[in-house]
Each structure stands twice: as structure tokens, then as C-alpha cells.
């Protein structure tokens, strides 16, 4: 078993790899726990959940990250009799982790929680780091809080049942970790690029482990995103805007945003032409880009509504070289100007 630790001023959170997800149950039995999951996970794995622990299953998908779902879960927890000593175990992808982390953080002013992370995207990114957010009126993660889970279990065996399209959403965030912080991981992804698919999960354990090490190290240094944590937003400024315009999956949108950010890093003179071409070629080869064409003018118009906007600018994440990112405050108008000139 391998372990990565996220240290924050309030808690120590551990992410565990190479152990069966069912070993987690020893940690929760006999303490007034509740499992929060979605209907897909419940259908596939529910029979293996521990007997006697109540299960609350939500509808799969982003729409469940809503106030009405939270209200419904809280009512059920009250009826079940979960008290302040209770424990919330989220079993699912990023949606379930966000919901379970949010509910646990506010229920009776906060109970402990942990995750069994079942999608590639949640294993490499969403379940680690202590951000717990839900959506309001179409604004993503607009209410939420920082609070670390006690533990996160990443069991790659669970990825065998993940739909292939979801695998590629996670691959995009995995690539992001390499691009911003680890040239060696990037070289590994380049060497595996033709083979990375949900049909062969053998390389995935090591790749996920390294991505989580990167995220944990960044979050430990800056839990509240006042500085270095911003680099985790690489590809997200342009990506989020495209995601909102076209309602495309998050990982595809981030892949497109990373491609644009690579070209922007080149045009600002940070990245060499050769590196820019290599990285763009890699993104194109990984099967992670959106399957529809993106109108850059439409996306450029959307940049001004970015929720990470700071006054007239955004702390934009550039690459200085493959595996090294930094941020610079760039005005909204300069971001939009670049984007209007961006061609895939």
C-alpha cells in the first residue's frame, strides 16, 4: 500500500493506493456512519457495501450538485439519526465527493468524512485537496468550503467499470499535473501516449499516485489558493469558459484550454516553439479534446465572467517549460485578444 499525505493547518488527510476499497469499511463500522453515493455506483458495487450502514444514493451527474440535493440528504441523515459523532463516506466520482464533502462539512456544524474515489478524474484530482463545492443557478462550485477528508481510497480496480469516455476526462487532469509540475511524469505519458486507454489499466496506478503527490504537495503549501495552488488551474481559464459556452465535459474543456494556454505561453515568449509543438501534438494524440469545434470569439466573450477574476485580470497559468508552471496577472482584455487569434 502507498500513501500520500495532505497537511493543512486543521487536519492531516491521507490518500491511499494499492488497497482494496472494501478495507475502508473497518474504519466506519460501529460509529453511526452513512454512505453517500450515486445510482450507478450503487447498482455496480452496492451489494458489497457493509450491511447495516445506511446508503443515500443520488442521481448521477452534475445536476445533483444542488441545494435541493443537499437538503434532501440532510433530511435523510436526520431521519436516520446521524449525530455529531457520525461519519460520512462518499463512494463515487467527483460529483459524489463534492456532495459528500459539502454535506459532512455543514451537517450539525461538521462531521468527519472520507472518500472512496471511483472515477479517474476524482482519483487524480477531485477527491484530494479539500475543496467541497456545489452549484447554484448554473454557476459551478459557487458555494462551498475548504475541509479535508480524513482519508481518500484510490483503488484502480474500480476503474474497470468506468465508461471509456469518463476515463478520458480523467486523463486530461492527469496530463495537467504533469505539465505544471513534473517533466518525468510528462515523459512517461508521452512514451505511453498511444497505449493509454481504459482497456489497459496497468500503467494507471503509478500515474495516479504521482499526480496525487503533486496535488498534495501544492495543497499542503497553499490550501486556500492564495498563491501556488493557482497553478492547478492550468488550462481552466479558457477551458471553463468553453465548458460554459458549449456544455462539453470538463476534461475535454480543460484539454482545449491547456492547448490554448500552451500556445499563449509560446506567444508570450515563455515556451520554445519546439516544446509548444510537442505538447500540442501530445494533447491531440491523447483523445481528450472536445468532439465539436469551438468558436473562439464566443469563448473570449465569456472570459469576463470567470469566477477567479481578480479585479480587471486573472492570475493566468503559463508554462515556462514542460513540467514547470507559473502565474501572471493578465488583463481580461489581453486574454480575450489572444483567444480571438487562437486557431487549433
Ligand X SMILES: NC(=O)c1ccc[n+]([C@@H]2O[C@H](COP(=O)([O-])OP(=O)(O)OC[C@H]3O[C@@H](n4cnc5c(N)ncnc54)[C@H](O)[C@@H]3O)[C@@H](O)[C@H]2O)c1
Q: Rule CB under 6 A: which residues touch ligand X? A: 38, 40-41, 44, 60-62, 65, 92-96, 98, 118-119, 121-122, 125-126, 129, 131, 140-141, 158-159, 161-162, 166, 169, 250
**Torsion 256-260-266-268 (CA) sign:** negative
Shortest CB 41 distance to ligand X, Å = 6
- Rank residues 96 and 330 by Cβ distance to ligand X and give the closer one: 96
- Rank residues 108 and 201 by Cβ distance to ligand X and give the closer one: 201
Shortest CB 281 distance to ligand X, Å = 25
- Rank residues 149 and 322 by Cβ distance to ligand X and give the closer one: 149
In angstroms, the Cα distances linking 58 to 55, 70, 73, 122, 139 are 10, 10, 9, 17, 20
Tell me how far apart the alpha carbons of residues 7 and 225 are, in angstroms, rounded to a whole number. Answer: 14
- Rank residues 44 and 108 by Cβ distance to ligand X and give the closer one: 44
**Beta strands per DSSP E along the chain:** 2-7, 12-17, 33-38, 55-58, 87-92, 112-117, 131-136, 139-146, 151-154, 313-321, 324-331
Shortest CB 6 distance to ligand X, Å = 12
HSE at residue 82, side-chain half, CA atoms within 13 A, is 28
- Rank residues 65 and 210 by Cβ distance to ligand X and give the closer one: 65
Number of Cβ within 10 Å of residue 301's Cβ equals 15
- Which residues have a Cβ under 8 Å from the Cβ of 190 and sit 6 or more positions away? 278, 282
Nearest-CB residue for ligand X: 94
Tell me how far apart the alpha carbons of residues 57 and 90 are, in angstroms, rounded to a whole number. Answer: 10
- Rank residues 65 and 263 by Cβ distance to ligand X and give the closer one: 65
Shortest CB 40 distance to ligand X, Å = 3
With beta carbons less than 8 A apart as the criterion, state whether 259 and 344 touch.
yes
Shortest CB 276 distance to ligand X, Å = 26
Tell me how far apart the alpha carbons of residues 58 and 40 are, in angstroms, rounded to a whole number. Answer: 9
Shortest CB 65 distance to ligand X, Å = 6
With beta carbons less than 8 A apart as the criterion, state whether 241 and 30 touch.
no
3-state secondary structure of 30: coil
Q: Which of 296, 335, 343, 284 is nearest to 313 (CA)?
A: 335
- Rank residues 118 and 276 by Cβ distance to ligand X and give the closer one: 118
Shortest CB 43 distance to ligand X, Å = 9
Shortest CB 213 distance to ligand X, Å = 16
- Rank residues 61 and 81 by Cβ distance to ligand X and give the closer one: 61
With beta carbons less than 8 A apart as the criterion, state whether 296 and 340 touch.
yes
Amino acid at each position: 500500500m502507498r500513501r500520500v499525505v495532505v497537511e493543512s493547518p486543521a487536519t492531516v488527510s491521507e490518500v491511499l493506493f494499492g488497497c482494496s476499497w472494501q478495507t475502508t469499511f473497518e474504519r466506519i463500522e460501529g460509529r453511526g456512519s452513512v454512505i453517500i453515493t450515486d445510482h450507478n455506483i450503487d447498482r455496480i458495487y452496492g451489494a458489497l457495501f457493509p450491511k447495516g450502514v445506511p446508503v443515500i444514493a443520488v442521481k448521477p451527474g452534475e445536476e445533483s450538485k444542488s441545494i435541493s440535493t443537499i437538503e434532501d440528504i440532510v433530511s435523510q441523515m436526520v431521519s436516520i439519526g446521524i449525530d455529531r459523532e457520525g461519519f460520512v463516506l462518499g463512494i463515487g466520482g467527483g460529483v459524489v465527493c463534492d456532495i459528500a464533502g459539502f454535506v459532512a462539512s455543514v451537517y450539525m456544524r461538521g462531521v468527519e468524512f472520507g472518500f472512496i474515489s471511483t472515477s479517474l478524474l476524482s482519483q487524480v484530482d477531485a477527491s484530494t485537496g479539500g475543496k467541497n463545492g456545489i452549484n447554484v443557478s448554473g454557476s459551478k462550485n459557487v458555494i462551498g468550503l475548504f475541509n479535508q477528508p480524513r482519508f481518500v481510497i484510490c483503488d484502480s480496480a474500480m476503474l474497470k467499470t468506468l465508461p471509456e469516455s469518463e476515463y478520458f476526462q480523467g486523463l486530461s487532469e492527469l496530463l495537467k499535473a504533469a505539465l505544471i509540475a513534473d517533466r518525468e511524469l510528462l515523459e512517461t505519458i508521452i512514451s505511453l501516449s498511444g497505449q493509454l486507454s481504459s482497456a489497459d489499466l496497468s500503467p494507471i496506478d503509478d500515474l495516479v499516485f504521482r499526480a496525487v503527490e503533486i496535488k498534495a504537495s501544492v495543497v499542503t503549501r497553499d490550501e486556500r489558493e492564495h498563491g501556488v495552488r493557482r497553478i492547478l488551474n492550468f488550462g481552466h481559464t479558457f477551458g471553463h469558459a468553453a465548458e460554459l459556452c458549449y456544455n462539453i465535459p470538463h476534461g475535454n474543456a480543460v484539454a482545449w484550454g491547456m492547448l490554448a494556454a500552451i500556445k499563449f505561453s509560446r506567444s508570450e515568449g515563455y515556451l520554445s516553439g519546439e516544446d509548444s509543438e510537442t505538447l500540442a501534438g501530445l494533447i491531440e494524440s491523447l483523445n481528450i479534446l472536445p468532439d465539436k469545434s469551438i468558436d473562439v470569439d464566443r469563448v473570449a466573450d465569456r472570459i469576463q465572467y470567470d469566477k477567479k477574476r481578480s479585479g480587471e485580470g486573472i492570475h493566468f497559468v503559463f508554462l515556462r517549460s514542460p513540467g514547470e508552471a507559473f502565474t501572471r496577472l493578465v488583463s481580461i482584455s489581453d486574454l480575450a485578444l489572444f483567444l480571438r487569434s487562437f486557431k487549433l
